[in-house]
């Protein structure tokens, strides 16, 4: 799971600056597994006031911290909670927070926004059927 999260953060880091205040246990796990994320600025944990300064300038927050979800909401910074549940349901209901779903953030998939390219054929078939039904 940590590897997938780091991969996600690296993708984000290709478009913007990613600051990762890392918990000592997470740092240890990364070292044990040989993870060294590229493009991500890893820093030691920060205090409450420092975190609020960072939040004030953030575009998005990715966190597993319950408190940080709420602080992001207070700063009007969109938040992605890196777990499948939250104690702050209201932040999801009002649209400032969403839960991280491994499948949703898995490999990017092609989105077929405009259908399959056969719209004209489908329209003709519907009109033909409509014309037959009218007779």
Of all residues in the chain, the percent with pLDDT exceeding 70 is: 89
| Alpha-carbon distances of 96 from 17, 55, 79, 92, rounded to whole Å | 21, 14, 6, 6
pTM: predicted TM-score of the whole model, two decimal places? 0.66
Asked if the structure places residue 124 within a domain, the reply is no
Mean pLDDT value of segment 15-32: 86
What's the rounded Cα separation, in Å, for the pair 8 and 25?
20
Tell whether 52 is covered by a domain. Answer: yes
Overall number of domains in the chain: 1
Where residue 78 falls among pLDDT bands split at 50, 70, 90?
A: very high
Helix pair angle (2-13, 24-33), 10° resolution? 100
Range of the domain at 46: 2-110
Question: What CATH number has the domain bearing residue 101?
Answer: 3.40.50.2000
């Amino acid at each position: 799971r940590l590897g997938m999260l780091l991969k996600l953060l690296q993708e984000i880091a290709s478009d913007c600056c990613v600051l990762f205040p890392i918990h000592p246990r997470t740092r240890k796990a990364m070292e044990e597994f040989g993870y060294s994320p590229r493009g991500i600025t890893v820093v030691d944990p920060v205090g409450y006031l420092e975190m609020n300064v960072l939040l004030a300038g953030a575009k998005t927050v990715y966190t597993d911290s319950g408190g940080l979800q709420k602080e992001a909401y207070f700063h009007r910074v969109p938040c992605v909670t890196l777990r499948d549940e939250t104690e702050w349901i209201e932040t999801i209901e009002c649209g400032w927070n969403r839960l991280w779903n491994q499948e949703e953030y898995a490999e990017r998939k092609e989105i077929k926004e405009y259908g399959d390219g056969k719209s004209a054929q489908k329209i003709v078939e519907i009109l033909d059927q409509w014309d037959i039904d009218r007779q």
